[in-house]
Chain A
Amino acid sequence: MQLKIYISLISCIFLFYAKSQNNDTLKVVEVLSKKDSILKLTVINSSVPHYIINKDKLNELSAEDIGDALKYIPGTYIKDYGGIGGVKTVSYRSLGAGHTNVEVDGVILPNTQTAVINLSQFDVFSITKLEMSSGQVQNHYSTASSYVKSNLISIYSSLFDLPTKKINVKLMGNASSINAYQGGLFYQQKLSKHFSFGLQSLYHFGSGKYNFSLKNIDSTYTSERQDSKLQNTKLKGGISYHKKKFKIHLNSNYSTNQQKLPGAVVLYNPYNDQSLKNKILNATLTGQYKSKTIAIGTNLFIQKSQTLYRDNHYLNVQGFLENQYTNGTFGGGFIFNKFLKTETQKLFIGSDFKQATLSGDQFEKSPVRKNINSVIGLSKWFWRIKLQANLSHQYIHDKTPNDTKNISHFSPFISLAYIPFKKQNFRIRSHYKNTYRLPSFNDLYYNSIGNSNLKAENARSSNIGLTYGKTIQLITFETTLDIYRNKIKDKIVAIPTKNLFNWSMQNIGNVLSRGIDLSLLFSFKKESHTLVFSTSQSYNSSIDVTNKTSLTYGHQIPYTPNYNASYTSTFSYKKYNSSLTLLHTGSRYVLNENLPFNKLEGFIDIALGISRTFKLKHQSIYCKLQAVNLLNTNYEVIKSFPMPGRYYNLKIVYTFNK
């Protein structure tokens, strides 16, 4: 039945297209987001929630990795375990990390083991842009895999860009008073008119020690966060070929990570000895072509990763627990766009193939997964109405020694946006998307916990919003307001069955979330002064609607604040820049039951940064001093994982371009 609806939807798309060929479309000027938009975040001329954080904005936010940066986007909630190397995962409008894809330069390197991406592994060094969109992908080159999930985070690295100068060097040093240090090197050179190559390395290390205070009823437990020692090396190299319409980029990454895991703070037991080692090696080959009539994106990739976890305080005969996993993935895909008169109108079709294997001592049977994702869609103006629609399809075929499993799902997406006034930058937008979070290897096959009968988690999201922008002389004002509704069915959760020792993954739980996301921006620019103030406000009600007789029916789901906000204000004068950012996270519950005892208090995190750029011929030095958690608040994002109090960062970046 559902399939029929989708087929008719697709037919409609093409009918619309055929019909509109004859009509003269009203010339609506649609400006694609400007590269150097002044510290903006929200894309106001988009039919779907779409946010861009460019390099300059990343500098101004107190962001060490993309997880930090995404905290400023309305509707996001970053689960932050704190400290250096601490895990950060994103939840957007109550859709967990499994509903968000992360692509780097158009390629998604999937995490088939857990389906959850740790955002702290993507640092902001040498990133030109960070984007997040919900609904339909807003670029021409992302292949089909980027369409199948509800949300997409896109990272664009400098290495991927065509260098403007012959030699580009960047050296970065960062020291933080929580005993964390970073050193980075970036080198990019033009070899000929069309060829360029680049290398970058980043070394992140430190003991990560910091003092914390944790409220223990009427008393305060103050201690030092230990066992966070980190040693992380990332190497990246790339060769690019650029010709007017054409671009080929070969890229390889190697990273090794050794860290101690500080674990949860357990009252009266400060001892802990866990460690994690990772190694990742990958290579990607990307091709892009764009003419006036078409755009093509293709990619091929291969990745191997190894993880070794060890707990030296495990009470078995050996006296330790060690788990090792090896994950291998390869694949490729393409997308083909046919422009319809302008670049903002197009028909597109694409497909991806991936194969992933996993072996580890917690997997009796090493699963092999073949995954095919496909998408077909369009973007088209009809008078002052913009239609965007796509139909994507996910197919997985899992093979284990004694079993095979197939899951297949169509995901439709449709969006309509309307510009009521010809001369006003005002837009009404709406969209609907139905996506599926496929069960990961852990969900299906992890020793005794995995359940091979799992279905995909189903999420239906709809959004209605307004966007408006106005510039009067020196002042720019922009705003977006969205109201959304997400319905999640058959959530994949681990629950104990039979007894506390027998946990199993099950499709249990329905969630209804409704919310409002608001973003506002004022900017004032006069000669050498720029003042930008922006805020995002989110209200979210996400309630458990699984079972009417349950104790938690109608209760707000865990780790989902009702209210979340961010404020940033930036003032630049000539080569000086100051920024004040404030993140406000409302109180949350750590468990399903909304009891006062399960409540984690809200918190405010204010950061103040001052920077100056020294410019010389071909060279520049950027210095930034930043105070994070200015109020020295003690807070936890995740219960028992206290965050650092006030700390300072000093960052120096030297660049040379000739």
Chain B
Amino acid sequence: MKILTLLLSIILIVSCKKDPKPEIVNTQYDNGILCMNEGLFQQNNATLSYYDLDSNKTTLNQFSTLNGRGLGDTANDMIEYTYLGNPYIAIAVDVSSQIEIIDAITLKSIKQIPIFNNTNAREPRSVKYHENYLYSINFDGTVSKIDLSTHTVTSLVNCGLNPENAELIDNKMYVVNSGGLNYPTYDNTITVIDLNSFSVVSTIETDINCSSIIKDNQNELYTISRGDYSTIQPQLLRINATTNITIQAFNIDLSSMTYYNNTIYYYDNSDQSIHTFNTTSETENSDIVIDCSSFQTFYGLYINELEQLIYLVDANGYTNSSIIRCYTMAGSFKYEFTGGLNTGQLLFK
């Protein structure tokens, strides 16, 4: 028995060995890049990481280190907004079904807003700010309006099936409905919501399974129809936001895009490269801006308009840390840094 006791105590001592404490946290988030890392489904590992441009160092898990708790499960969107003169960040945490509001300077949590329909998670996919309200675009086919003075959901409208994203033009919100969970019957609509009355004013018919949506400076919207991943190919759709008519469809196998200066920068799956599309002449440029064939898993494209830099995310097979690579607008590589798992949004600070 003595041997047993001895063995037991040895094991207990050995097993109590702890990992070193996490790295020291920044106190200033004013010159760097804040990354929202989606994490993986049912792993509760959505995180925020920060790349400091002064020290050229990444610090991981900023949210949890600062707030003493995890961000949650599967973060899908992150925006910065100013309310009553103060900067804030809102994060849509999908599987946890929360809108997390944090202080944009300290990254400390201000409020966690649950987005539920009784016991059913609505699953916020993306979040928008418009005139003192936040709008949570929910995967259950709804948009929740959040009053920032009380941080509560004040009203709700129904949109289409499994909306993924939205764009704002003036006081109208254009919600793209993918219908992804209704495979093989995808949705093919964009819901137009008037934000003053917070009601649906019209529904635009487009093509199936639309995911992202952006606007140019000519009152036109561009959305990616992802097809059905087998016979129906992805397309870039151009929509007139005044007439609500799909004007044109371009056969481009694209999966990520962003708008800057009369140009859409997008990732083309067919040649694994970044290309441009001119929104004035409505033509694609066949020139490769950045060749991404060395990426393991292309996962996102962002432009820092102020610095005029392109940032590309490699999610490394979705289960390893992402790498974020920085390029000039002309496409020459500048530097790279590490993010967390599936870096899905960047904020330039």
Chain A interface (Cβ within 8 Å of chain B)? 216-219, 263-269, 271, 273, 313-317, 448, 495-496, 498-502, 533, 535, 550-552, 565, 567, 569, 580, 582, 584, 586, 590-593, 595-599, 602-604, 639-640
- For A219, A267, A551, the residue with the greatest tally of chain B CB atoms inside 10 Å of its CB is A267
Q: A551-B320, A593-B319 are in contact. Are A498 and B68 (CB under 8 A)?
A: no
Closest to B7 in A: A567
What secondary structure prevails in chain B residues at the interface with A?
loop
B162 close to chain A: CB less than 8 A: yes
In the complex, the answer to whether B68 meets A218 with C-beta atoms within 8 Å is yes
In the complex, the answer to whether A217 meets B161 with C-beta atoms within 8 Å is no
In the complex, the answer to whether A604 meets B68 with C-beta atoms within 8 Å is no
Q: Within the complex, which residue of A315, A551, A582, A584 is in contact with B316, where a contact is CB–CB below 8 Å?
A: A551
Which residues of the other chain, B, contact A498 by a CB distance below 8 angstroms? 229, 255, 269
Min C-beta distance of B96 to chain A, whole Å? 4
B337 close to chain A: CB less than 8 A: no
10 contacts between A and B (CB under 8 A): A216-B70, A219-B69, A266-B73, A267-B96, A495-B318, A498-B255, A498-B269, A582-B11, A596-B20, A597-B47
Q: A216-B70, A501-B180, A569-B4 are in contact. Are A640 and B43 (CB under 8 A)?
A: yes
Q: Within the complex, which residue of B70, B95, B141 is in contact with A217, where a contact is CB–CB below 8 Å?
A: B70
Tell me the complex Cα distance, A314–B139, Å: 10
In the complex, the answer to whether B7 meets A591 with C-beta atoms within 8 Å is no
Known contacts A218-B69, A268-B97, A315-B141, then 8 further A-B pairs from the complex at CB < 8 Å, ordered by chain A residue:
A266-B44, A271-B116, A533-B3, A567-B7, A591-B43, A593-B319, A596-B19, A596-B22
Min C-beta distance of A396 to chain B, whole Å? 26
Which residues of the other chain, A, contact B70 by a CB distance below 8 angstroms? 216-217, 267
Tell me the complex Cα distance, A269–B181, Å: 20
Tell me the complex Cα distance, A592–B317, Å: 10
Q: Within the complex, which residue of A268, A595, A597 is in contact with B72, where a contact is CB–CB below 8 Å?
A: A268
Q: Within the complex, which residue of A219, A267, A269, A584 is in contact with B11, where a contact is CB–CB below 8 Å?
A: A584
Our count of residue pairs bridging A and B at CB distance below 8 angstroms stands at 134
B45 close to chain A: CB less than 8 A: yes
Min C-beta distance of A177 to chain B, whole Å? 24
In the complex, the answer to whether A268 meets B319 with C-beta atoms within 8 Å is no
In the complex, the answer to whether A591 meets B320 with C-beta atoms within 8 Å is yes
Closest to A503 in B: B318
Closest to B178 in A: A501
Which residues of the other chain, B, contact A218 by a CB distance below 8 angstroms? 68-69
Q: Within the complex, which residue of B64, B96, B318, B340 is in contact with A266, where a contact is CB–CB below 8 Å?
A: B96
Tell me the complex Cα distance, A263–B73, Å: 14
B263 close to chain A: CB less than 8 A: no
Which residues of the other chain, A, contact B64 by a CB distance below 8 angstroms? 217
In the complex, the answer to whether A502 meets B96 with C-beta atoms within 8 Å is no
Min C-beta distance of A599 to chain B, whole Å? 7
Closest to A218 in B: B68
Q: Within the complex, which residue of B3, B15, B161 is in contact with A316, where a contact is CB–CB below 8 Å?
A: B161
B197 close to chain A: CB less than 8 A: no
- One digit per residue, 1 when the CB lies within 8 angstroms of any chain A CB and 0 when it does not, for chain B 1-36 equals 101100110011001000110100000000000000
Min C-beta distance of B242 to chain A, whole Å? 31
Tell me the complex Cα distance, A599–B61, Å: 14
B285 close to chain A: CB less than 8 A: no
Which residues of the other chain, A, contact B112 by a CB distance below 8 angstroms? 268
Q: Within the complex, which residue of A273, A315, A535, A595 is in contact with B321, where a contact is CB–CB below 8 Å?
A: A595
Tell me the complex Cα distance, A395–B291, Å: 45
Which residues of the other chain, B, contact A219 by a CB distance below 8 angstroms? 68-69
Tell me the complex Cα distance, A413–B185, Å: 51
B120 close to chain A: CB less than 8 A: yes
Tell me the complex Cα distance, A550–B314, Å: 13
B218 close to chain A: CB less than 8 A: no
B182 close to chain A: CB less than 8 A: yes
B89 close to chain A: CB less than 8 A: no
In the complex, the answer to whether A271 meets B297 with C-beta atoms within 8 Å is no
Min C-beta distance of A543 to chain B, whole Å? 15
Scan residues 188-217 of chain B and give those whose CB is less than 8 A from a CB of chain A. Answer: none
Min C-beta distance of A382 to chain B, whole Å? 40
In the complex, the answer to whether B181 meets A315 with C-beta atoms within 8 Å is yes
Which residues of the other chain, A, contact B61 by a CB distance below 8 angstroms? 597
Closest to A501 in B: B229
B123 close to chain A: CB less than 8 A: yes
